[in-house]
Amino acid sequence: MSLEIRIAASSDAEAACTVLRRSISECCELDHKNDPAVLDAWLGNKTPQMVANWFSSPTNFSLVAISEGVVVGVALLTGAGKLALCYLLPEVRGQGIGKALLSKMEEQACSWGVKALQLHSTATGQAFFAGRGYIDAGKVRSPYGVETVFFWKQLDEDATCPNAPKRKRFCNCNTA
């Protein structure tokens, strides 16, 4: 499998929208429980035009994952350090694509000087984020009626952001 991760363009919006809609509909049944009202609310803003707007916003950083010429994943980071999207086509889950997208998002957040990344995960994605060092800070109900898990991760640690400025010490004591 060849995998390319690149900055999303407005021309990717339709394919990215398909990823979002299929991932939510097919992978997040644990969350929406096939409730048509919840699905309609959750998918309501997942249109090609809205996705294109998200991609073109100067305060967002968006990526697409492409395999064999097909958009198979999409992720979006806001300038405030919120991972707003991280979705894959159902058939590519478990292949490391989500990990690759998340890693690139963390790198971008570090380059912006973001100290901690935050996100609202579905129950479906909870184990994925917990397995990547994100800390569960409790449940939050989404505007579309799904209970989500608020996660955060400190990014200015050596392993996550090796080039991040080091924290200032408040004393001149010797740490050796």
The proportion of the chain whose per-residue pLDDT surpasses 90, expressed as a percent, equals 80
CATH label of the domain that carries residue 114: 3.40.630.30
Give yes or no for a contact between 23 and 32, defined as CB atoms under 8 angstroms apart.
no
Residue found under tokens 């001149």: 172
Indicate if the pLDDT at residue 1 is higher than 80: no
Structural domain range at position 90: 3-154
pLDDT, tens digit (0-9, with 9 covering 90-100), for 110-169: 999 999 999 999 999 999 999 999 999 999 988 888 889 999 999 976 555 655 555 444
Residue 172 included in any domain:
no
Q: Domain total for the chain?
A: 1
Rounded mean pLDDT of 87-98? 96
Give yes or no for a contact between 130 and 171, defined as CB atoms under 8 angstroms apart.
no
The mean pLDDT of the chain is 90
Residue 32 included in any domain:
yes
